[in-house]
Amino acid sequence: MRALIVSDIHANLPALEAVLAAAPQYDVVWNLGDIVGYGANPNEVVELAKKLGGIAVRGNHDRACSDPFVFSLHSRMNPIAATAAVWTDRVLTKESRDWLLSLPRGPLKPLKRSLICVHGSPWDEDEYISSEFDAEAALASCRDRIVLFGHTHDQGAWISNQGALEPLKPDFKSREGVVDFELSLRRRNNRYLLNPGSVGQPRDGDWRAAFAVYDDTEAILTWYRVPYNVRTAQRRILRAELPETLATRLRDGT
């Protein structure tokens, strides 16, 4: 079984389309949340995510953008994120809003194996796993061997070997084109926190759309980066009169 893992699409339709065009054969989609927010195509991205099926975990932007009155997350967001959430709330169709509201909170367990899907952390869907302390807390909060998470927009992993934590970043051979990097998950004594990266708004210094494929039979996770039409995404953001920063940062991957 091969799962296509996507996260933090953030209403970036050109990036999602590029990911789907470049992805190798897969059997199911695991979506780790933040499908909307920031980008200019929330309804189109929701519709495509619905068609892909599989599982989808709700993200903090999915909640804020679809029901800001009940979930007053805007007060916890920076002004740019809050502005984008208000705009997204205004343009969402009823069908898109209803689907986003129906998304389950993680962790979700797609397999019988010891693997879970979350947006932020197993113990708090809004927490970032971005430091060794965060990784320790995340692993202490669950017993699963493999945790797939998003939220940080930073592609990579934390690997625990009998409590000793080691960060890992994919070592791509090129900063251009479509590239991939494999990580074997065969060591049974290890536990893994794995982030596929952000499809629609990377923040790890690489502007290309990020995703991953998990091969359950071979026990391998493969990270990918794929170029997409950034200018189209930028033009749509500016045309929607969203904050200019949301457009300019796409080219820098920050």
The contacts found for 226-234 with CB under 8 angstroms, 24 or more apart, are: 226/18, 226/19, 226/22, 226/178, 227/18, 227/176, 227/177, 227/178, 228/14, 228/15, 228/17, 228/18, 228/19, 229/14, 229/18, 230/14, 232/14, 233/12, 233/13, 233/14, 233/15, 233/39, 233/40, 233/200
Q: What's the rounded Cα separation, in Å, for the pair 43 and 36?
A: 8
- Using alpha carbons only, how large is the chain's radius of gyration in Å? 17
pLDDT surpasses 60 at 71: no
* Structural domain boundaries, residue 214: 2-252
Residue 206, pLDDT score: 97
Q: What's the rounded Cα separation, in Å, for the pair 236 and 240?
A: 6
DSSP 8-state symbol, 103: P
Look up the pTM and report it: 0.95
CB 60 within 8 A of CB 73: yes
pLDDT surpasses 80 at 26: yes
pLDDT band with cut points at 50, 70 and 90 for residue 187: confident
pLDDT surpasses 70 at 68: no
Residue 242, pLDDT score: 97
The mean pLDDT value for 8-26 works out to 98
Residue 69, pLDDT score: 60
Residues 6+ apart with CB under 8 A from 128: 120, 121, 134, 151, 152
State what percent of residues in the chain have pLDDT above 90.
87
Q: What's the rounded Cα separation, in Å, for the pair 194 and 207?
A: 20
pLDDT band with cut points at 50, 70 and 90 for residue 121: very high
pLDDT surpasses 60 at 74: no
Total structural domains in the chain?
1
Q: Provide the CATH number for the domain around residue 30.
A: 3.60.21.10
Residues 6+ apart with CB under 8 A from 105: 57, 58, 125
